[in-house]
Copies of this chain bind each other. A is one copy, B any other.
């Protein structure tokens, strides 16, 4: 598909004014991101930033005893490697490809230079970071208060939003890692959704049959995050809406 190879499938790149985009374009390198690939290891240095197009990448915190939890998910609405321009150089989280596909990457130095111009790119990246913070916070609350059923629903919807399909390739085992729960817990929750006619699945393939019903089933966390992402980013046509820091 030609569309798959268009950097502007990534919302951040698409939101840049044309001249800004063209300055970056020659340096954007198309990369294929395979399922399970680790883009950043916890504490590791960042050599590139990634702009996913049709792939999804999870930010995971892995603990000493090996248990883990997803703290945010990044798709074509965002960028991976924010700690680069935030000044940390390293991330404390691990970035794992959750749904394979493509993305564009940019050398770290180049992004820093662009960020330091202080123009639209900087404002856009900061806004996205703000949206990411919201997602992380809501994840914290969701972990505390909501059932696996609800969290699974949220996770499915967030994944769907970042794909161009109603299907995803993902085993229950992997979902359990993301949610930080047991695989059996996911089996049970998924069974309920299937019995309700909301999804069907088998051996690593999940298909959403009734999205409206799924949206009824989910906790408020999904809508909060989506709304905030939309507020901060979607209504950001090229070269506009950058007046907030004036």
Contacts and interface: CB of A to CB of B under 8 A. Distances in A.
Interface string A125-161: 0110110111011111101110000000000000000
A232 interface: yes
A52 B71 CA distance: 28
Interface stretch (A88-96, A183-191, A193-201): A88-96
A87 B136 contact: no
Given A137-B61, A137-B92, A140-B143, A118 B118 contact: yes
Given A145-B69, A220-B63, A245-B115, A87 B140 contact: no
A123 interface: yes
A148 to B, nearest CB: 11
A220 B231 CA distance: 35
B63 A141 contact: yes
Contact of A134 (B92, B116, B180): B92
Interface string A72-114: 1000000000010111110011000000000000000000100
Contact of A244 (B68, B89, B140, B145): B89
Contact of A140 (B69, B112, B115): B69
A22 interface: no
A141 B180 contact: yes
A228 interface: yes
A13 B245 CA distance: 21
A67 interface: yes
The 5 closest A-B pairs by CB, nearest first: A140-B140, A86-B130, A87-B127, A144-B180, A143-B143
14 contacts: A59-B137, A67-B145, A69-B140, A69-B141, A71-B136, A72-B137, A86-B129, A87-B126, A87-B232, A115-B245, A118-B118, A136-B137, A136-B140, A141-B143
Given A69-B141, A87-B127, A129-B129, 12 more contacts: A67-B145, A83-B133, A85-B126, A86-B129, A86-B130, A87-B123, A87-B126, A92-B138, A116-B245, A133-B133, A140-B143, A145-B180
